[in-house]
Amino acid sequence: MQRLTKHLQKRYFWAASVLVVVILSSTFYVMKSINMQRNDAKVINIAGMQRMLSQKIALHKLAVNDRAVSFEQQQLARATMRFYNNHEFLLGSELVQQSPQVLALYHQQGLDGRVRQYVQLASRSDAPLSAFQGQKLLSLLQDLDAVVTVLESKSKQKIEHLQLVIPLLTLAAIATILCEWWLIFNPLTRRVSAILYRLRYQRRQAAHAHRVKSDFLANMSHELMTPITGIIGLLDSHTAAGREEQQTALGCARHLQALVQEMLELQKLKSGAFTTLVTEQSLKQTVRAILAPWQLKSETLQRLSVEGEDSLPVQAQTDHLHLIQAVNQLLSNAFIHTRAAVHVQFEYHEPSGLLSVVVKDNGDGIATADIEAARQHAVYYNTEQVQHFQGVKLGLSLVYALAQEVGGSLTIRSTTTGTEAKLTWPVLTIDKARLEPSSQHGDILIVEDNPINQLVLAKQAQQIGFNTTIVDDGEQALNKLLEHHYQCVLMDLNMPNKDGISTIIEIRERLALSVPIFLVTASQDEHRIAQSITVGANAVLNKPVNTQQLSALLKKHVIERAAFS
């Protein structure tokens, strides 16, 4: 692009230079011609004046001879002086010098000598009067008139020449513009068009690459979520509560889930497509998922102190995944930027429905300007290298954005001993009794091709109080729905033979069934998820699904509906 810019500048420079030269040359020639015409007009006017002055000299000379009046003598002297000065001017003028005919009149035919003799006789008192009347005066007048005629003819020729040259100059300017268009601007236009075409092609390629990246991200998240679903589902549905190993493994799995979700949500935050993920689950398990990675490492476990974990409500409805992500970011900052103790305090304020998380470290603090920059620029906040950070600064922009999206807040302040970050997060407590199954609620059809997901969903549904039937694809699901009545269908999106969307369309249109259908998927393809809702899915569950999340959905769409029917 820089080479093209220099090339364009060079071509424009030469094109403009040629055009300027043509215009300046034309202007100079026209101005010079006008000035020459002005001088020629002056010369012709003086030449014409000579005839009048010669007659005036004759009249005053005759008058002085008859009566010696001082007035007549003065007029004669003035006329004679003017006549002589004009004659000298004409002989030295450029127009006369360039006219051979006029020079011949003055020198070869003796007009110059007769004019000078005429001036001398006019100055003498005893000059014969015959020189000022009759044939001699007439001959002088004829010669002076011939000078005027020749000068007028010469000036006319110059005008005709000018009238011929001006159109030629105009044509030259037009030809120059046409040449510049043909040799400079036309090739330039073609080259710019070619560049624009390449840019459009590259933009299409970039859009395609973005689509490929999004598809890869969606598929990769689907592949990662499958084993995570197995870990969380099996641990979550296990009845042997109180085992420390189980709780630690469950916390680590949820942390892994939060990391995968963070990768996806960063992209959504940048593109403006961020959505909250409100679920119902144990708030204590969420806190364990936050603390588990730090408690597993001896170097961080010895420096970490926790307060208020046991006083938290058991069940809560909030965006658990983003809460894990935000608090872990604050803890990561604290551990990176201080070698001393890190203290985290959890406190739930029931009247306001806000969970308060305070993270304190002994770092060197953070500048107010840097905090404001993170708050204003959110995800687009550019940081320096980690070694240059002070206090909790890395990722502050992300935590600010998450807190703002869910309706919470983040405040950072420097203390005498370090930095304190306070995160408030909206949390709605849930009565645990709502989630306990009281009796069998009916049958559920699980349409899922992955054995691990089949096992997890079946155990969760059975724990809530439903019987389950499992099929591997949409074709088998349609056959089962023709044979038996189910309370709801848990439908995967990506399956062999017939995928989830095609199966939902068949259920709604060909079978004409109104059975509730929940799309259970780890896909991040928003277009396909929206399409599934359009064709008839009642809700979407993102994998991995926990028991509380599934129970709340079944209670809303199946259990309560059955109670009122």
- The DSSP code sequence of 462-510 is HHHTEEEEEESSHHHHHHHHHH---SEEEE-SS-SSS-HHHHHHIIIII
Residue 355: its pLDDT value, please? 92
27 and 170 Cβ atoms separated by less than 8 Å:
no
Residue segments in the chain with a per-residue pLDDT below the cut of 50 = 240-241, 378-394, 433-439, 563-565
Helix orientation angle between 244-271 and 396-406, rounded to the nearest 10 degrees = 90
Q: Round to whole Å and give the CA distance between 261 and 245.
A: 24
Pick left, alpha or beta for residue 272 (phi over 0 → left; psi -120 to 50 → alpha; otherwise beta): left
The residues spanned by each domain of the chain are 2-190, 247-430, 435-564
- In the prediction, which pLDDT does 394 show? 45
pLDDT at position 8 is 63
* Residue 121 C-beta-side C-alpha neighbours within 13 Å: 22
Domain 247-430 part of CATH 3.30.1540.20: no
CA–CA dist 262, 226 (Å, integer): 17
Other C-beta atoms lying within 10 Å of the C-beta of residue 413 = 12
Which token pair is 197?
Answer: 């075409």
Nearest-CA neighbor of 320 among 232, 231, 214?
232
Query: What's the pLDDT score for residue 344?
Result: 94
| d(C-alpha 233, C-alpha 543), whole Å | 10
Give the chain's count of helices (H) and strands (E).
19, 13
What's the confidence (pLDDT) of residue 562?
57
Residue 161's CB is within 10 A of a number of other CB atoms, namely 11
Helix, strand, or coil (residue 276) = coil
- Cβ contact 427:354 at 8 Å: yes
Query: What kind and span of H or E run contains 244?
Result: helix 244-271
- CA–CA separation, 472 and 476 (whole Å): 7
The predicted model scores a pTM of 0.42
Q: Which fold has domain 435-564?
A: Rossmann fold (3.40.50)
Q: Are strands 409-414 and 517-521 parallel, antiparallel or unpaired?
A: unpaired
User: Alpha-carbon distance 504 to 481, whole Å?
Assistant: 12
